[in-house]
Every structure is written in C-alpha cells, then in structure tokens.
Amino acid sequence: MGNVLQLDHPLAAHHLSVLRDVNTPSVTFRATVQRLSMLLAVHATRDLPLQTKRIRTPLVEHDAQELAVSVAIVPILRAGLSMVEPVLQLLPDAEVRHLGMYRDEATAQPVEYYSKLPPNHCTDVGLILDPMLATGGSIRAAVGALKRWGVKDIRVLSLIAAPEGILLLHQDAPEVKLFVASVDERLDGNKFIVPGLGDAGDRIFNTSH
C-alpha cells in the first residue's frame, strides 16, 4: 500500500508480540517500545544521503563519510515521547521538536495543544514519531505542521498502523514514507486498532486504570 515500508525482521515480530500481550506490564512495555523504535529508526534512515569529509585517522589522511542532512525528531505527545531516546541514540545530533496532540474520545479527531516549530529555521528531514496510526488524523495534522514549517523530506515511524489511517495519509501526502512494524487488520467501532496493543500512551505511562 503506497509508501509503506514494513519491518521484516524476526526481532520486530518478537517484540511486537510482547507489546500486544495484555499481560505485559508497563515497565516491559516501555522498554519494548524502545527496542522496536530503534529497529524502525535503522530502517527509516537507511537512505539518508552522505557527504565526504576529510579527516585524519591516527595513521593517515582519510576521506570519511558523514550525514549530509540535518534531522529533526518530532514526537507526538504523549506516546511518541517513548520513541525519542532510541532514535536519538542513532542520531545524536538531531534536534527534537515536540507536537502536542490527543485524539478526542468522542469524535476521534486530533486536538492540537502544543507546537513550537521556530520560524526561519527548518531541517532537511523530519522524523515523526507516534507508536500508533489509527484513523491517521494525528499523523496527518503532524505532517501538515512539518510541511508548513518547510520540511521537504518527511518520514513517519509508527509501531502499528491501521489500513484506514494509511489510506488517509497516502491520499493527503503520498510522498511521505511510513515505516511500521505492522499493518494491522482494521479499526473497531471505537476507532481502536485491531488486533492492536491497546492505548499505547496509557500502557507506556502506566495510566490504564
């Protein structure tokens, strides 16, 4: 389906099962989100451009390589916060720009409550982080915010996505690449992803009860 790249790795399948299990406690859930996020980040950055940089090793002059682009990591609060640290481990020079958004429980529409993307400064690549893409409303709003900010290369990292949300994103922004661990079956009547993993934010921050 469109610009969707799904992780094809036994570790991804294994860690995803841990997340899906209703008996997985919050502490394990959080750590597992981080493991999967790192796998996703490796996948989502494999075609970033490089440039040559002349350096001196302890032995000789050498044409080394370094990233040729600046990267912003853009977590959607709250649940996306849990994905920041593993992605930063791989991209230590990236900047982190938070977007606050929650899904209204009655309408399933995204409500934006925080955004501070500075004017006159923008990065080459924007990595949007959110464990779940359900209806796609939240990711669509985040993509819109990054487009208005001026980011040309926007990529989305989600652990699980519903076909309905993928379609919405594809119709709205076909150029945006989506990296997921799983494309799940569908949304249920409450717009929850099935089989899914429940409410990622609640399970990460131990606020389910």
Q: What angle do CA 154, 46, 33 make, to 5 degrees?
A: 75
SS3 for 166-200, per residue?
A: HHHHHHHCCCCEEEEEEECCEECCCCCEECCCCCH
User: Are the CB atoms for 99 and 145 separated by under 8 Å?
Assistant: yes
Indicate which single residue of 33, 180, 200, 203 sits in contact with ligand PRP (rule: CB under 6 A).
200
**Which token pair is 209?**
């009860």
Indicate which single residue of 36, 44, 87, 110 sits in contact with ligand PRP (rule: CB under 6 A).
110
Under rule CB under 6 A, residue 108 binds ligand PRP = yes
- 57 Cβ contact partners less than 8 Å away, ≥ 6 residues apart: none
Q: Binding marks (x or -) toward ligand PRP, 9..48, rule CB under 6 A?
A: ----------------------------------------
- CA–CA distance, 188 with 107 (Å, rounded to integer): 14
153 is catalytic: no
Contact segment (CB under 6 A) with ligand PRP among 9-17, 30-38, 74-82, 90-98 equals: 74-82
User: Are the CB atoms for 128 and 117 separated by under 8 Å?
Assistant: no
199 is catalytic: yes
Indicate which single residue of 82, 123, 138, 182 sits in contact with ligand PRP (rule: CB under 6 A).
138
Under rule CB under 6 A, residue 146 binds ligand PRP = no
Cβ-closest position to ligand PRP = 201
CB of 186 to ligand PRP, least distance (A): 13
Beta bridge partners of 61: 56
Residues that bind ligand PRP (CB under 6 A): 76-79, 101-103, 108, 110, 130-139, 165, 191, 199-201
